Structure 1
Amino acid sequence: MQITPLIWAITIAVTIAFFVYEFFAHVRKPHEPGLGEAARWSAFYIVLALLFGVGIGVTSGWGYGGEYFAGYLTEKALSIDNLFVFLLLMTSFAVPRVHQQKVLMIGIVIALIMRGGFIAAGAAVIDNFSWAFYGFGALLLVLAWRQAFGDHDADPADSRLMRLVRRVLPVTDTYHGDRLTVRQDGRRMATPMLLAILALGVVDLVFAVDSIPAIYGLTSEAYIVFTANVFALMGLRQLYFLIGGLLKRLVYLAQGLAVILAFIGVKLVLHALHVNELGFINGGEPVLWAPEIPIWLSLLFIGATVAVATVASLAKTRGAAPGTDADTDTDTDADSTGRSVPPSEPGTTAEDAARR
């Protein structure tokens, strides 16, 4: 796949332009997107991603097109899983609904920057060290285990990092609009909004470690890895507001993603054996009997796994109440720890409400 520096420059410039437009058109003025707005923009970005994949297939061959679609589907599924943590984070820090767009927007930009760095590093490692596929494969198997059996309900506001930040930075008791810092009693203080964004940045770093090795197990083309990640992140903000009430019903999504990560991990190990250069494995020669999993099988397996996990989740939670914690967090305040407290009465502070 021949990608010139000019194509890279245009792609990056268009990506930046989209996010700048998103900020000035939707995020700059604090508001909670309506269902119609969220649905229209979510559909727009999904259609745009699909058309881009068709364009890759037509111009570069459907082998690359298949790699893009498999990568996009994997990254989109992982992004939806990210929304669970975003929902937990918004509730934990009691971020007002009208300001959640800004937190999500900043988090998505941080995620894209981090993933861009991981993509560049991953491409350099793969180009120079074929044994890296063994490492990526082993990492994905570990991540699959953690995805299936790890703790997905930890409180982001009470993590060790947030406790350290609160010891170093003075934090206000309540939000001050969408401001990150304010001056009180003659000194500069952070707001819970800043803590929420810092926590989101840490979450983005963890997700980058998950997602980049996964997609490199499907394609070695850095351009496909980058664009699949861009399109998976585009529209994530709108998707948060669109399916927020359904997130709690996707009870088997974590297990489905664990299966996908394990599958790609095995695929990477098999590929590593096929291109083996390590002296202590088969005398440093490729293990030719190791099968290569074709991209069409990967795409079929990933799509089927996502479908089964979704259908099984909806069947399991049929009749469950659609509301989520995020539906009510508009009416909560935050104390200086960033954790939600009961809504305060007129004339009281969030600290008073927390003492009650």
Structure 2
Amino acid sequence: MDVTLNIWVLTIVGLCALIAADFFIGGRKPHEVTTREAGIWTAVWVALAALFGLGLLWMGEGQASSEFFAGYITEKSLSVDNLFVFILIMTKFAVPTIYQQRVLMIGILIALVLRAGFIAGGAALISNFSFVFFLFGAFLIWTAWKLIEEARGDDEDEEFQENRFMRMVEKRFPSTDQYHGTRLTIVRNGQRLITPMLVVMLAIGTTDLLFALDSIPAIFGLTQDPYIVFTANAFALMGLRQLYFLIGGLLQKLVHLSYGLSIILGFIGVKLFFHALHEYDVPVPEIPTQVSLAVICGVLVITTITSLTASKKARRAEAEAAVGGGEDGSGQDEDSLTHAP
């Protein structure tokens, strides 16, 4: 897709306008986000992403439209996995409920800026070195295997581990342990201190960059157009705050999510290998974007259905076990009463 500087500028200005509208309408005043509010805003962001993709199709960019939808769905599904870590971060820093949406909004904006630099670097590497596709493909397949190993392990005691950048910030900059509204810094006894609000925002933004290490190569496996990569990431991230409040309780039920993501990453890794071989004139088939989109959507639908079914069976088994235990206890009491002197 031929994207001029004017289109880039208009796109960034448009995205900034949407972010500003989101902030002034729903995020300016600290408050507890209801399920209804989160559902409405989630629908709005999904609708905006759909309109953008359909707009590309209307402009005659059918291939770009398919690549955008494939990239957006992939980034959105990988972003859902980020929410698990966001919950851990919120818990570790004991963020009050009314401030959580502000933390997520600023943290995600930091993540978007950092990802933009990551995308620019990835695009530069791909345009100059074709062998990078082999590296990206191998990394995605390795990540897919690690996801399977993690899914098989016991992560009930998982805790958020601060990255090196966060440890450096907390070590070099004096801070306070108490929240002071939405303020990022305060002055106490003539010394400026950073508040936990700033620390947790940085934690959200910099931790997301670690997830970009697999999500960015994954989308480059679907399209090499930096414009599509950036816009797909932007729309996926900007609706993540509302999704956090909408499906926070549902995350624990998506027990097969890691398996689904591993299949998607593995598939894209193989696709990258095929593309890399094709770049070196090896006669291998190229996997069309439409096929990739169908595989991604199919895996996510199947994973969601099997996850909810498994969770329902687990809850039913727990309920039956609880009822059975209660009956045994009840019978035991009756028996003791019968033989009581």
TM-score, length of structure 1 as denominator length: 0.82
How far apart in 2 are the matches of 1:25 and 1:120? 31
**1:300 aligned to which of 294, 297, 318:** 294
Number of equivalent positions: 311
CA deviation after TM superposition for structure 1 residue 103, in Å? 0.8
Structure 1: 5+ residue runs without aligned partners? 277-285, 322-356
1:169 aligns with 2:164: no
Q: How far does residue 44 in structure 1 lie from its aligned partner after superposition?
A: 1.2
AA aligned to 1:50 is A
Provide the residue aligned with 1:181 in structure 2. 185
SS in structure 1 opposite 2:192? strand
Is the Cα–Cα contact under 8 Å of residues 111 and 208 in structure 1 kept in the other structure? no
Larger Rg, first or second structure (1 or 2): 2
Q: Aligned equivalents of 2:170 and 2:113: distance in 1? A: 26
Comparing 160-169 and 65-74, the one that deviates more:
160-169
Partner of 1:14: 14
Q: What is residue 212 of structure 2 aligned with on the other side?
A: 208
Shift of 1:164: 4.8
Structure 2 equivalent of residue 267 of structure 1: 271
1:348 is matched with which residue? none
Q: Aligned residues: percent identity? A: 53
Q: Partner residue of 1:98?
A: 98
Q: Residue 199 in 1 paired to residue 208 in 2?
A: no
User: CA–CA distance in 1 between the matches of 2:209 and 2:46?
Assistant: 24
**Aligned counterpart, 1:316:** 310
Aligned residues of 2:66 and 2:289 also touching (Cα < 8 A)? yes
Contact 1:92 1:157 in 2 (8 A): no
Indicate if the aligned counterparts of 1:143 and 1:258 stay in contact, CA closer than 8 A: yes
Structure 1 CA distance for aligned equivalents of residues 86 and 10 of structure 2 = 31
CA contact (8 A) 2:108 2:204 kept: no
1:242 aligns with 2:236: no
Task: Give 2:258's aligned amino acid.
Answer: A
Q: CA deviation at 1:267?
A: 0.5
The 3 A distance-change label for structure 1 pair 159 and 216 is closer
Deviation at 1:158, TM superposition (A): 5.5
Alignment match, 2:74: 74
Alignment of 1:5 with 2:9, yes or no, is: no
Give how far 1:194 is off: 2.2
- 1:123 maps to 123
Partner of 1:83: 83
Q: Distance in 2 between matches of 1:223 and 1:295?
A: 16
SS, match of residue 156 in structure 1:
coil
CA offsets per residue over residues 107-135 of structure 1, 9 Å max, x none?
A: 11111111211222222221221111111
SS at match of 2:147: helix
CA positional deviation for 1:230? 1.4
Asked if the contact 1:156/1:199 (under 8 Å) is kept, the reply is: no
**Structure 1 CA distance for aligned equivalents of residues 300 and 49 of structure 2:** 18
Aligned to 1:53: 53
Between 262-271 and 45-54, the greater mean CA deviation after superposition: 45-54
Q: CA deviation at 1:145?
A: 2.4
The aligned amino acid for 2:221 is G
Q: Give, in whole Å, the separation in 2 of the partners of 1:229 and 1:129.
A: 23
2:233 counterpart residue number: 229
Counterpart of 1:139 in structure 2 is 139
What RMSD in Å do the two structures reach over aligned CA positions? 2.0
Deviations 1:46-71 (A, max 9, x none): 11211211221232342222111111
* Mean Cα deviation higher: 238-247 or 187-196: 187-196
Distance 2:118 2:162 in 1: 28
Select the structure that is richer in helix.
Answer: 2
